Amino acid sequence: MEEGRLIVVSNRIPTEAAPSGGLVVALHDALKERGGVWIGNSGKRVYPEEAAHGLTQIAKTPYERYSFDLTEEEHQGFYLGYANATLWPLFHHRTDLLAVDPDQARVYREVNDRVAGLIAEVVQPGDVLWVHDYHFLPLAEALRKRGVMNRIGFFLHIPFPNPSDMPALPERKQMPDWLSSFDLIGLQTRRDVSNALDFLRDNGAEILLRGKMKYQDRTFEIASFPIGIDVDDFVEAAEAHADSGEHLRLSPGERLVLGVDRLDYSKGLPQRFAAFGEYLSHRPDPQIRATLLQIAPPSREDVEAYKDIRQELETITGRVNGEMAELDWTPIRYIRRNIEREILAGLYRRGDACLVTPLADGMNLVAKEFVAAQDGADPGVLILSHFAGAAEQMEAALMVNPYDPGETARAIEQALSMPLHERQSRHLSLMQSIRETDITWWTRTYLAALQQKAPVAAN
Ligand code: GDG
């Protein structure tokens, strides 16, 4: 039988011919190889009459790309509201920040319904659908209701919530229906799989063998597929831009500690800055100069909690710099904008250490990019939070509890004084782990697992 098309659905869709960014590049390559269709949100906000027009074709080759627009109400309720002010905090264990708003929940389901209708118009028998992330949890259920019985996979890029946090979500009772309408649920880590199994079992699903589950008349599967990066591509970019560090004009002997994160409260930035301040106050030799370069492009600035994190960070940067700076040295350099990917790769390579200290994170690709960008002969040291999904694979990093500034400060000291042979052996082992599960491995393994799965029974 001829292989059906791959149809990818994600909130964002690349608009350029050769897109950049880990996930987008991986999916782009998968589609380029097999052909298929990518459907996503254009990012444009339109009047309701225009949104009703449906899908717009934005590219035909090397695969078809279609976008849909959101109205202002949909953008507020679906994207800023339910997805990013309810699900995001819940899934990152921040129920204190979770907004409960029945209107936003309604709009979230309506957008999923509308998108399901658009997909149902283009899907053909034999096509395989691959839906990405928390924006589209109810999408398979909505598609099944429209009679779409194709294989539908889901990949959650963020952590699966702690089952004990779930009662904070008014729509939790619908979650088993949402999830079991997919054929395969891909999660980043074993910890996420265990949380998902516990939650579903406590809510009426039966665990069959090896990640297979049954809920009502549907069987589906849950497994972990840790996402990776295109390692060779990053190695190349870092080598080609090894002089990026010169832009920084560091003084001779000055050490560079890096941080690269979207400006998000899940990334543990205030705790990181406090830990860096603590390291500086306790460093063994006050002559040592270490600079923390934090690149933090803004994100979701219209969501209230994101304004707070920005303010908190500005305050703490001012405090640490005010206390520690010298006429010719600013200890924390905080850049709140996007840096070009190639320059970034070169900066990683110049870094003596990288702080990846999220309080919760699905995987964290920065950890993998930093390792890929190092010069194996003189590599920098990765300091990694226990709470990043990457911690399950990258055991040779210096592991820290991001809530404990003393522990992180000691890890910075350890990283900056680590002997060359130890840096090299840790780097070698980390390189091996990121190569084993790189982005091609991720796409192939996930799609192979999805294709082995028979379509769900009609309901
Ligand atoms: C979600 C999950 C999961 C950052 N600043 C700049 C820049 N970046 C790039 C990094 C990296 C990407 O953004 C960030 O990826 P992360 O994985 O670290 O985090 P999220 O954005 O939260 O992603 C996460 C991921 O999905 C994939 O499944 O790992 O856990 O939360 O690639 O390099 N890139 C450029 N300039 C910047 O200033 N060019």
Residue-wise pLDDT tens digits, 278-298 = 999 999 888 889 999 999 998
Of 150, 156, 154, 155, residue with least CA distance to 128: 150
Of 17, 102, 100, 97, residue with least CA distance to 61: 17
- Tell me what pLDDT residue 333 has: 97
Asked whether the beta carbons of 258 and 351 are under 8 A apart, the reply is yes
> Which residue's CA is the nearest one to ligand 1's atom 34?
341
Mean pLDDT of 92-114: 97
Q: Report residue 399's pLDDT band, with 50, 70 and 90 as the boundaries.
A: very high
Q: Report the C-alpha gap between 166 and 162 in whole angstroms.
A: 7
- Tell me what pLDDT residue 210 has: 80
- Tell me what pLDDT residue 453 has: 58
More confident residue, 50 or 143: 143
> Which residue's CA is the nearest one to ligand 1's atom 10?
366
**Pocket residue to mutate for ligand 1, from 347, 364, 382, most atoms within 8 A of Cβ:** 364
Q: Report residue 459's pLDDT band, with 50, 70 and 90 as the boundaries.
A: very low
Q: Report the C-alpha gap between 103 and 118 in whole angstroms.
A: 23
Mean pLDDT of 36-48: 91
Distance from Cα 364 to the centre of ligand 1, integer Å: 7
- Tell me what pLDDT residue 395 has: 97
Tally DSSP H helices, then E strands, for the chain: 16, 16
In the DSSP assignment, the letter for residue 326 is B
Region of poorest pLDDT, from 23-37, 64-78, 272-286 = 23-37
- Tell me what pLDDT residue 330 has: 96
Q: Report the atom number in ligand 1 closest to the C-alpha of 390.
A: 29
- Tell me what pLDDT residue 18 has: 64
More confident residue, 455 or 131: 131
Best-predicted range by mean pLDDT (7-21, 331-345, 399-413): 399-413
For the chain, give the mean pLDDT: 93
Mean pLDDT of 295-317: 90
**Pocket residue to mutate for ligand 1, from 267, 365, 370, most atoms within 8 A of Cβ:** 365
Exposure string over 150-188, b if 16+ CB within 10 A, otherwise e: bbbbbbbbbbbbbbebbeebebbeebbbbbbbbbbbbbb
For tokens 């309408």, the residue is 181
- Tell me what pLDDT residue 35 has: 83
Q: What is the pTM of this model?
A: 0.96
- In the set 157, 183, 230, 241, the catalytic residue is 157
User: Residues 337-352: pLDDT tens digits?
Assistant: 999 999 999 999 999 9
> Which residue's CA is the nearest one to ligand 1's atom 15?
365
- Protein residues with CB under 6 Å of any ligand 1 atom: 22-23, 157-158, 227, 260, 262, 295, 297, 338-341, 344, 361-366, 369
**Pocket residue to mutate for ligand 1, from 262, 264, 347, most atoms within 8 A of Cβ:** 262
Burial group, residue 194, by CB count within 10 angstroms (0-12, 13-18, 19+): middle
- Tell me what pLDDT residue 456 has: 45
> Does 157 qualify as catalytic in the annotation?
yes
- Tell me what pLDDT residue 428 has: 98
pLDDT at 26 over 90: no
Region of poorest pLDDT, from 10-24, 220-234, 279-293 = 10-24
pLDDT at 455 over 50: no
Mean pLDDT of 203-227: 94
β-bridge partners, 260? 295
pLDDT at 314 over 50: yes
Q: Report the C-alpha gap between 392 and 191 in whole angstroms.
A: 9
Region of poorest pLDDT, from 226-235, 295-304, 412-421 = 295-304
Best-predicted range by mean pLDDT (57-61, 85-89, 309-313): 85-89
Q: Report the C-alpha gap between 437 and 428 in whole angstroms.
A: 15
Mean pLDDT of 154-179: 97
More confident residue, 349 or 307: 349
Mean pLDDT of 345-366: 97
Q: What angle do CA 116, 119, 124 make, to 5 degrees?
A: 130
- Tell me what pLDDT residue 458 has: 34
Q: What are the CB-based long-range contacts (under 8 Å, 24+) for 394-397?
A: 394/367, 394/368, 394/430, 394/433, 394/434, 395/429, 395/433, 396/425, 396/426, 396/427, 396/429, 396/430, 396/433, 397/356, 397/367, 397/426, 397/430
Distance from Cα 369 to the centre of ligand 1, integer Å: 10
Cis bond before residue 62 (omega within 30° of 0): yes
For tokens 């949104």, the residue is 51
pLDDT at 224 over 80: yes
- Tell me what pLDDT residue 28 has: 85
Amino acid code (one letter) for 280: L
Let me know how long the chain is: 459
